[in-house]
Structure 1
Amino acid sequence: MAQLDRAVEPQGGGDDPASSGTTGRRTGRARVGAWCRGWRPAGRRGWITAALAVLLAGLLALHSSLPNSVGNLGSLLETFLPWLGLAVPLLVAVAVLRRSAVALAAVLLPAIVWLNLFGGLLFDKSSGKGDFTVLTHNVAAANSDPAGTIRLLNNSGAQIVALEELAGQAVPTYAAGLAAAYPYHAVEGTVGLWSKYPLGDVSEVDIKIGWTRAFRATVTTPQGPLAVFVAHLPSVRVKFDAGFTAGQRDVSAQALGDAIEAEHLKKVLLLGDLNGTMNDRSLAPITSQMRSAQGAAGDGFGFSWPASFPMARIDQIMSKGGLKPTDSRTLPADGSDHLAIAASFTY
Structure 2
Amino acid sequence: MVKRAGGDVTAPAVGEGRRGVVVAGVAVGVAGVVGLHGVIPNTPGRIGSLVESFLPWGGVVVVLLFVVALVRRSGVGLVALLLPVAVWVQGFGGLLLPGPGADIGSRELVVVQHNVSDENPDPAGTARVLVAAGGDLIALEEVVGPASAVYEGVLGADYPHHAVYGTVGLWSKYPIAEEQLLDIRPRTFEAGWSRGLRAVVRAPYGDVAAYVAHLPSVRVGAGGLASSPRDESARRLGNLIRGEKVRTVILMGDLNSTVDDRGLEPLTSQLNAAERGFAFSYPAALPLARIDQVLARSAAVSHIRTLPATGSDHLPVAARVTLDARPPSGRPAP
Q: TM-score, normalised by structure 1?
A: 0.83
Aligned length: 310
Are residues 1:54 and 2:31 paired?
no
Pick the aligned partner of 1:100 from 74, 82, 99.
74
Aligned counterpart, 1:239:
221
Are residues 1:208 and 2:185 paired?
yes
Q: Deviations over 1:239-279 (max 9, x none)?
A: 12x21111110000000000000001001110111111111
Aligned counterpart, 1:114:
88
Q: Which has the higher helix share?
A: 1
Q: Deviations over 1:106-164 (max 9, x none)?
A: 22221221111111111113231554321111000011221210111222211211100
Pick the aligned partner of 2:293 from 306, 309, 316.
316
Aligned counterpart, 2:306:
330
- DSSP 3-state at the match of 1:46: helix
**Runs (5+) with no aligned partner, structure 1:** 1-29
Aligned counterpart, 1:181:
158
Q: 1:112 to 1:132 in 2, by over 3 A?
A: closer
Pick the aligned partner of 1:253 from 212, 234, 237.
234
**1:203–1:216 Cα contact (<8 Å) kept:** yes
Aligned counterpart, 1:286:
267
Amino acid at match of 1:329: R
Amino acid at match of 2:167: T
**2:278–2:304 Cα contact (<8 Å) kept:** no
Q: 1:87 to 1:131 in 2, by over 3 A?
A: closer
- The offset of 1:42, in angstroms, is 8.6
Pick the aligned partner of 1:71 from 45, 48, 51.
45
Q: 1:150 to 1:42 in 2, by over 3 A?
A: closer
- DSSP 3-state at the match of 1:291: coil
- DSSP 3-state at the match of 2:207: strand
Amino acid at match of 1:102: V
Percent sequence identity over aligned pairs: 48
Aligned counterpart, 1:134:
111
- Paired with 1:137 and 1:233, the residues of 2 have a C-alpha distance of 13
Q: 1:84 to 1:198 in 2, by over 3 A?
A: same
**1:40–1:100 Cα contact (<8 Å) kept:** no
- The offset of 1:89, in angstroms, is 2.1
**1:41–1:100 Cα contact (<8 Å) kept:** no
**1:140–1:165 Cα contact (<8 Å) kept:** yes
Aligned counterpart, 1:268:
249
- The offset of 1:96, in angstroms, is 2.8
Runs of 4 or more consecutive aligned structure 1 residues displaced over 3 Å after TM superposition: 38-45, 324-327
Amino acid at match of 1:160: L
**2:161–2:175 Cα contact (<8 Å) kept:** yes
**1:127–1:326 Cα contact (<8 Å) kept:** no
Give the number of the structure whose alpha-carbon radius of gyration is greater. Answer: 1
Aligned counterpart, 2:133:
156
- Paired with 2:171 and 2:180, the residues of 1 have a C-alpha distance of 15
Q: Deviations over 1:11-33 (max 9, x none)?
A: xxxxxxxxxxxxxxxxxxx89xx
**2:272–2:300 Cα contact (<8 Å) kept:** no
Aligned counterpart, 1:3:
none
**1:41–1:101 Cα contact (<8 Å) kept:** no
